[in-house]
Structure 1
Amino acid sequence: MDKQPEHRAALPDRALPALPALPGRLRLWLRDLCIGLRLGAFGGREGWIRNALTAVGVGIGVALLLLAASVPQIMDNRDLRVTARTATGFAHMEPVERSDTSVVMADVSTEYRTDVVSGSLLRADGDRPSLPPGIDRIPAPGEMLVSPALAELLRSPDGGMLKERLGYRVTGVIGKAGLLDPGEYLFYAGTSTLTAENGGQRTEGFGGPGFEYGPVDPVLTALATLICVVLLVPVAVFIATAVRVGGERRDRRLAALRLVGADIPTTRRIAAGEALFGAVLGLAVGAAVFAVARLFAGSVRLWGLSAFPSDVVPLPGLGALILLAVPVAAVVVTLFALRSVVIEPLGVVRSAAPRRRRLWWRLLLPAAGVALLLVSDEIAGATDPELVYPVPLAGGAILVLIGVTALFPWVVDAVCGRLRGGPVSWQLAMRGLQLRSDTVTRAVSGIMVAVAGAIALQMVFAGMHDDFRETTGRSPAWGRVVVTAGYPSPEVAARMLREFGDTEGAIETVAMIQTSARTPGARWTAEGDPPPSTTLTVAGCPVLERLARLASCEDGDVFVVHGREYRASREWVDRTARKGKELIVGDPGPVPGESAHGADGLRWTLPEDSPTVWARKDVAGWEHDGVFATPGAIDADRLRHGSTTALVRADESMPDAHEHIRNTASRIDPALQIWTMRMIERDQKYTSMQTGLLAGASGTMVLIAASMLVSQIEQLRERRRLLSVLLAFGTRRSTLAWSLLWQTVLPVVLGTAVAVASGLVLGAVMLRLIGKEMTGWGLFLPVAATGPGVILLVTLVSLPSLWRMMRPDGLRTE
């Protein structure tokens, strides 16, 4: 028998692109891939339709991956901007001497409804003041420079109450260099009265190190890691599915290459080159989509954050990895798909008996993922119980989710292989799944991964949500407003009582001066424990009667107050507040190794006849203990250190009650610090994040479902002749439609079961890592129902194509 001619004889060199001198095997691979690229580029109208579908599918996935690869760059640039505008000396409270370049500043940030408005008061000490980035001058008293977003808000009708609160004239705009993101609300206001004694801090410049906040909350680390995995793994599965669009039709066309003399390895490499063309087009589409999307980065805010378009740049290593991984994945996936296909000169021959799928390694993937998650917890606990390691955490979650795609085909084969009998439509569907389940499971697997990941995320958020909801119901402090001045002032306390009492939306107000009280000569212990101390509270009798159970009160009285909740606090009060003995009040206290010499404090004797009383909870539900004194018992103007605090109970039923209170605080002193204890709002944010996750998961499913629809229509086109034969033998169209529906429904049901089980396992392990408990086990039902609903919708949309292809002319051939 004659030797089979080599493919070079059938494909003359003049038809092939010239290649440089390379090793023989590499040259052969490149030549075959180039032939495939040429076939993909000049495959006619149907070929370009297939390439367009592949390019769109791959392009969307690539754009998402490029956006994800840009997150580290966005956060790094944000950190650099934070550092650039951080005042030197603030991080460690270092004293700064006055000079021509020094600036006195105070943080006057506030909240406006659901947004944070950052701001600072500035006063220059000399003629050459250091400037924060983004501004070219210190605003004059009564003027302010604002960010573009804040300027737009102040001009809008929605910003009326905020404009009233700030009360400065806008004279300029802060440049990009001084903003964290385009949507940040920021202002710098000038003042002539701010000093280091009334709440200001002096700095010699900007660009110093920021505050050290310690390790990141392990709950946030675990949550962020899981979110990244859940969002990106389905995208990877989506890309792997998209590059195989039209694979079966391509197999038949490649039979022509076998007819002209190409051997089987060559044909497979040419097929990989054709898929490579679609993947390269997908990279171009993805890069274009990413380039357009980054232009709108400043218009999109997620959890109060946005980014400048110039910051949305993928890390070079990650970007190169994405650009390399997608073409390589296209080649590898195509070669892997053709491993069970024999392309003969007269057609495509597929294995009549599918290979038996092995179960052990499919179970090994999720088992290894769970083990890795548990080991990551042990490793973190061995070094620091407060740490969570994101790398093993991400690896474990990825293995569990990939285990869904590995286990799903085995489940479909195991179930479908044991089903017998039933209606004709059911038998046709089962036979199709028994012989060609790969195509269906491949299309469904991406959605199953998204379902499993969304269920795990929903479980984690539910555990955190329930924890916050329990806290909200237990504490009476939520909804209260705390207004604090960083200095003691009887005048400010009086204004707080009077003006907050007249403020619309304020129901009750308590205002007081608080400072420290210590015994003279107190030292830190050798073990590093601080000396006993307590709090001195100065206020009028109406306020003190609201804070303690007093039998009577007159100006000049002093009381020793015990709290009921903490016994240790009562012991410190008794050890410090010794009746008839001297106290040092208004002193910052001793540092380790030194005594409280009282150089900055006021020596004051606690009266011998001071009664001991019990504390009463204030408007926020807190107890105040220590020493209570009326203004006639101590001159609060002589206190050098301390604070002036007002506790305000707002009318939660009144719209913008908190905004009215903040406006009043700004009139009293723009440098007042305001805290609104509204865990209910925080609870609503967690609820909105859960809703957003459900919407994001559904969007991912719709994205993958689009690819499934393309794959479904392509399969129908491939089976046009088979459908025509069945129709010619008398099979009803409704029977074929039901067959298509059953062929989709069963894998969806099985895949949903696998996804729910995997998601519940992953969610339970993640809850264990962050120390939360799961209570609402039925929360997975909406997510689990979304996947089947999307797939059934795809099936219904593909029915018109099925109807058009069931025609007798499908039997015609050449």
Structure 2
Amino acid sequence: MSQVRTGPSVWAGDLAMGIRFAAGGGREGWIRTALTTLGVALGVAVLLLGASVPSLTSSWHGREKARENLGQAQEPKAADHTLLYASADTTFHGAQIRGRLVQPDGAHPPVPPGVHGLPGPGRMVVSPALKELLDSPEGALLHDRLSYEVAGVIGDEGLLGPKELTYVARPAALNAADGYRIDHFGKHWDSPPMRAPVVLLVIMTCVALMMPVMVFIGTAVRFGNERREQRLAALRLVGADVRTTRRIAAGEALFGSLLGLAGGAVLFLCGRQFASPITLWDVNVFPSDVAPGPLAAALIGVLVPTASVVVSLIAQRGVTVEPLGVVRNRPPQRRRLLWRLALPAAGTVLLLPLAWARPWADTGFDTVRLATGSILLLFGVTALLPWLVDAVVSRLRGGPVPWQLAFRRLQLNSGSATRAVGGIVVAVAGAIAVHMLMTGMQAGYAQAYAVSGKLPRVGLWVGSDDWPKTRQALGALRATSGVTAVRGTLDASVGPLPRRSANDGAGGAALSVGDCAELRRLAHLPSCRDGDVFRTDDHERAGGLRRPTLNPGTSVDLDPPDGYHAPAKPRPWKIPGTARTVRLLAPVSTPGAFSSSYDLLVTPGALDGARLSSPTMEITVDFDRGTPDALEHIRNTAARIDPTLHEHSYLDNPHDQQLSSVRAGVFGGSVITLLLIGTGLIISTVEQLHERRRLLSTLDAHGTRRATLGWSVLWQTAIPVVLGLGLALGCGLALGSLLLTMIDSAVTVDWQAIAGMTGIGAGVILFVTALSLPPLWRMMRPDGLRTE
């Protein structure tokens, strides 16, 4: 009895022989290797891209933190190494522009990254994208707003991405009240966590794009199985045992996967150069940011070749390779349904509690449950496809000749067809679920902005203690083109006297300073003159907080504790005994307008705004939508009044464009994935035709028309794809409904995207059939019956 060859050296020798066969198998061998390499390379490139997301976000947030300072717990005193720093963000035609104003206190101020030196008075340094916008005809209005002279361009280390719009300017003068003093750039803070809908979207996008890639890699390493098995049969003839042939086959798959690994790395390095023009969810990055972490890259480098060997060995278990060139399939086994149903059922069990939770908590455990449940649901539906195809084709009887040829072939062996179609099921189901999630989110945002933006109104506010400056701002805005109404006051908060403990449930009162004309826009005033004070009839306070007593003759604190600090001494002010009670006008609830819930209305002659603690100038502007660029003219006027004026409005819906870009990206990725899977389906179909070349030649010799066999190829491809699309539709709708329920959104179906995916699936069928016809015609020749 011959001794069985075992041991690492034997394994290595057999794998090396398989690699030599794959590398030196002639033209056909190289074609098989090239196909495997291409399939694995595309999958590896996508995996490397997915593995780059953590480092990408880390680099993005790292630059964000390095260039910023949100203020210091102990604000430094003016010195040679300090500067005043203020935010001057603005919006132009829906695009966010980050602006920062600086005013050095000495000769050695801190300098933000990407800037060689702070600009001089009246000058600014800008990002390349902002400079391009300012130099273009479309940026004429913006140039009026940012009237500084461009003194330089910010380097990459000071930008979040190459398309970011940002500037650092030095105005002629910057008031200390407009900003705060800093002595360095770079501040550590925890980035705000993503909201639950965004977390869901990110997780599902990764799952929807990664799962088909893994299926495609598993299919790619099995390209050329039929020819490989013929060669293994020859090895059996010269004495190789079954284990040896399987290890040699694994070596061939390993060679293709190693080449694919290298090719995928090259594709990834070339593809990331196109990262700069892409903006998703306002995130735009540099190509150098798109780099996988060392551990992730190492895992991909190990797992992909390992998976190719495992898949090859599993594929060899389904056949019996014998000498004399005979490859005989094992007796077909009945596909069991129970374990196939258990997978999607387990995924549903994991997802249902998340859908019932109110609200959905973004915890690590819930994230793992969401990803695991989604993967099980998608993979389980894929596992159902082979059983469904067998169950359907086993019941088919009769019909035209092409139809009978197709389903009889599937009755004999449907494994190769369902393997390739399984990728389509995962891709389409995942894409439908993600599109439903984005459609629901987008519809919710669109509805909210449609309601809030129905009245064209914008709110402006900035810290100020000067009523004359507020009056001048109101006059400038009223003179702006397109403005229909303006109202504004100087607002602050006052507290009770004597001061109470922080937990007694007492709240502050809202005080508003304005002339009689402005106060009449807030309340019904019987009469008014400078020096009057009015107490409103509004005594309700949200959250159950009680307001201080505001009776005439009582005193209030003009510098109340604000929750962050408690001044050492109160700043008392006595409400005049002549204060009258007036009725407020109907509250203005439109977003973009400031609160109409005021407690005290005070004219400037009764109280100097400089005595108030942190007062703000609050202005509400109504405008005519029909006036061209009315909103941009308002923003220009606001910048001339004070470049640090903050805007508060719901007129621009940034989420609509963001979600549309993400939807387009996911749809494009799904289309590419379907085309890749279609390529694998073509290869699988051609291999099956080559395996049946003698049968095809026999049919041709008996006068079978080419059209008959062409239609049979079409139906043979169409049956698994149609069944797979049906499963994908049901799975995608169910998963999408669960995801929308998690974020308390109405279940909205993007039928246009579903129709597009279905149309692409039908196109894949026609694509596969069309490219399979030329090989079919070549094999339908009588000389194919010749044997040696």
Q: Closer, same or farther in 2 for the Cα pair 1:103/1:459, shift >3 Å? A: same
Distance in 1 (alpha carbons) for counterparts of 2:568 and 2:575: 16
Shift of 1:388: 6.9
Q: Closer, same or farther in 2 for the Cα pair 1:171/1:179, shift >3 Å? A: same
Tell me the TM-score normalised to structure 2 length. 0.93
Query: Which structure 1 residue ranges, 5 or more long, are not aligned?
Result: 9-23
Deviations 1:657-684 (A, max 9, x none): 3222221111111121123313645345
Letter in 2 for 1:589: P
Could you say what the CA RMSD is over the residues aligned between the two structures, in angstroms?
Answer: 2.9
Q: 1:538 aligns with which of 508, 513, 534?
A: 513
Name the SS for the 1:452 alignment partner. helix
Is 1:579 aligned to 2:567, yes or no?
no
Q: Could you tell me which residue of structure 2 aligns to residue 811 of structure 1?
A: 785
Of the structure 1 ranges 96-105 and 611-620, higher mean CA displacement relative to structure 2 is found in: 611-620
Name the SS for the 2:494 alignment partner. strand
1:684-723 matches, cutoff 5 A: 684-723=657-696
Name the SS for the 1:677 alignment partner. coil
Deviations 1:167-212 (A, max 9, x none): 1111122222222222222211113421323x12011212222366
Is 1:603 aligned to 2:573, yes or no?
yes
Q: Closer, same or farther in 2 for the Cα pair 1:395/1:145, shift >3 Å? A: same
Name the SS for the 1:97 alignment partner. coil
Q: 1:105 aligns with which of 85, 91, 106?
A: 85
Q: Could you tell me which residue of structure 1 aligns to residue 187 of structure 2?
A: 208
Q: 1:178 aligns with which of 124, 140, 158?
A: 158
1:246-261 matches, cutoff 5 A: 246-261=224-239
Q: Could you tell me which residue of structure 1 aligns to residue 349 of structure 2?
A: 371
Deviations 1:391-449 (A, max 9, x none): 22211111111112211111111111122222221111111111120111011111110
Is 1:438 aligned to 2:415, yes or no?
yes
Letter in 2 for 1:324: V
Distance in 2 (alpha carbons) for counterparts of 1:39 and 1:709: 24
The percentage of aligned residue pairs carrying the same residue is 44
Q: Closer, same or farther in 2 for the Cα pair 1:567/1:257, shift >3 Å? A: same
Is 1:448 aligned to 2:425, yes or no?
yes
Deviations 1:264-287 (A, max 9, x none): 221121112112111111111111
Q: 1:89 aligns with which of 65, 71, 77?
A: 71
Distance in 1 (alpha carbons) for counterparts of 2:210 and 2:349: 22
Q: Closer, same or farther in 2 for the Cα pair 1:39/1:606, shift >3 Å? A: farther
Distance in 2 (alpha carbons) for counterparts of 1:250 and 1:576: 91
> Conserved in 1, the CA contact under 8 Å of 2:82 and 2:110?
yes
Shift of 1:787: 4.7
Is 1:761 aligned to 2:734, yes or no?
yes
Letter in 2 for 1:808: P
Q: 1:79 aligns with which of 61, 69, 72?
A: 61
Q: Could you tell me which residue of structure 2 aligns to residue 11 of structure 1?
A: none
> Conserved in 2, the CA contact under 8 Å of 1:84 and 1:207?
yes
Deviations 1:34-69 (A, max 9, x none): 111111111111221222222122111111111111
1:614-629 matches, cutoff 5 A: 614-618=584-588, 620=592, 623-626=595-598, 627-629=600-602
> Conserved in 1, the CA contact under 8 Å of 2:66 and 2:113?
yes
Query: Which structure 2 residue ranges, 5 or more long, are not aligned?
Result: none
Is 1:517 aligned to 2:491, yes or no?
no
Is 1:315 aligned to 2:293, yes or no?
yes
Distance in 2 (alpha carbons) for counterparts of 1:94 and 1:379: 42
Q: 2:457 aligns with which of 453, 471, 480?
A: 480
Distance in 2 (alpha carbons) for counterparts of 1:88 and 1:117: 18
> Conserved in 1, the CA contact under 8 Å of 2:594 and 2:620?
no
Q: Could you tell me which residue of structure 1 aligns to residue 247 of structure 2?
A: 269
Distance in 2 (alpha carbons) for counterparts of 1:543 and 1:778: 51
Shift of 1:33: 1.0
Is 1:57 aligned to 2:57, yes or no?
no
Deviations 1:709-763 (A, max 9, x none): 2333333333322222122122222221111111112111211121122222222
Is 1:28 aligned to 2:10, yes or no?
yes
Q: Closer, same or farther in 2 for the Cα pair 1:117/1:593, shift >3 Å? A: closer
Name the SS for the 1:509 alignment partner. strand
1:28-427 matches, cutoff 5 A: 28-87=10-69, 89-90=71-72, 93-197=73-177, 199-210=178-189, 213=192, 215-351=193-329, 353-374=331-352, 389-427=366-404
Name the SS for the 1:298 alignment partner. coil
> Conserved in 2, the CA contact under 8 Å of 1:244 and 1:275?
yes
Shift of 1:227: 1.2
Letter in 2 for 1:108: A
Name the SS for the 1:299 alignment partner. coil
Aligned residues: 784
Name the SS for the 2:84 alignment partner. strand
> Conserved in 1, the CA contact under 8 Å of 2:85 and 2:103?
yes
Shift of 1:357: 0.9
> Conserved in 2, the CA contact under 8 Å of 1:451 and 1:783?
no
Distance in 2 (alpha carbons) for counterparts of 1:145 and 1:696: 38
